[in-house]
Amino acid sequence: MARTRIVLAGEGGQGVQSIAKILVEAGYEAGKEILYIPNFGVEQRGGVSIAFCQVADEKIGEPRFSKGDIVIMLSDRAIDRCSAYVNENSTVIYDSSVCSTKPTCKAKEIIAVEANKIANEQLSARVFNIIVLGVLLSATNVLKLDDIKNAMEMALGKKFDAKPELRELNYKALEMGMNMIQKAGV
């Protein structure tokens, strides 16, 4: 059974849940089985924000899983919190322009990206999370770019219509993210 388990973790405010929602919405529209649990605590803002997403071809059993196939860590605290979801079959992706250290957990592969740096230097800090979404799209390789674009349209369509240049900016961010790593083919 093809099932991809994704852990997406960052600081509250980095937009982790926003891109998780776009990802799972895209998966749902593409006819995949989806299960998404936003990790929520007592704080409305701040703290580590984690999204547990599963994309599968068949009905999903367990809602929470022990180890992720793809684990994305976007801050030092996210590395601390989420190393527990990593084993030798996991691909870990972390943002080396945010995190001060490299994750030390034992994984199949640990990939560094600089989404934050590129967002700030080349695009806009606002699309940091969309770059990460692009990274995730390449890394998982289970969803099509068009699916994601449609889901982005559902989530952000009104903002795009008000400011068309935002659409271009977001597409650019998505593309740059996708190109940051080779298709991992997990």
Partner 1 sequence: MVKKLITEDTRMFLTGNETIAYAANAAEAEFMYGYPITPQNEIMHTWCKLLPKTEAGFLQTEDEISAGFSTIGGILAGKRAFTATAGPGNVIMQDAQSMAEMMRIPFVCAVMQRGGPSTATVIYAQQETRLTCFGGNGEGFRIVYSTAGHQDLYDYMIKSFNTAWKYRFPTFMLADGYQGKMREPVTLYDPASRGIKMEPTPAVLRAPGKIDVDRKANHIRNTFNLEEELMEVLDSYQAEFDRIAPEIEEYLEYKAEDAEILIIAHGIVARSAMTAVDELRAKGIKAGLFRPITLRPLAVKPLRNAVSRAKQVLFTESANGQLAQMILEKIYGLTTPYSTLFKMGVGVTGDDIVQKVESMVKTPATV
Name the nearest CA neighbour of 135 among 180, 69, 82, 98.
180
Q: Which segments of 130-180 are extended strands (E)?
A: none
Asked if 95 and 78 count as a contact pair (C-beta separation under 8 A), the reply is no
Q: Residue 114 corresponds to which tokens in the numbers above?
A: 């600089």
CA–CA distance, 17 with 8 (Å, rounded to integer)? 8
User: What Å distances lie between residue 49 and 93, 97, 145, 158, CA to CA?
Assistant: 16, 19, 25, 26
Site string for partner 1, 99-138 (x = CB under 8 A): ----------------------------------------
CB of 106 to partner 1, least distance (A): 16
- Tokens 């889901």, residue located: 151
Determine the straight-line distance between the first and last CA of the chain, rounded to whole angstroms.
Answer: 14
Please tell me whether residue 28 binds partner 1 under the rule CB under 8 A: yes
CB of 67 to partner 1, least distance (A): 7
Contact with partner 1 (CB under 8 A): which of 7, 16, 24, 127? 24
Please tell me whether residue 45 binds partner 1 under the rule CB under 8 A: no
Please tell me whether residue 37 binds partner 1 under the rule CB under 8 A: yes
Please tell me whether residue 67 binds partner 1 under the rule CB under 8 A: yes
Residue closer to partner 1 (CB basis): 9 or 118: 9
Please tell me whether residue 25 binds partner 1 under the rule CB under 8 A: yes
How many residues lie near partner 1 (CB under 8 A)? Answer: 21
Please tell me whether residue 16 binds partner 1 under the rule CB under 8 A: no
Residue 144 has a CB neighbour count (10 Å cut-off) of 12
Which residues make up the interface to partner 1 (CB under 8 A)? 24-25, 28, 33-42, 60-67
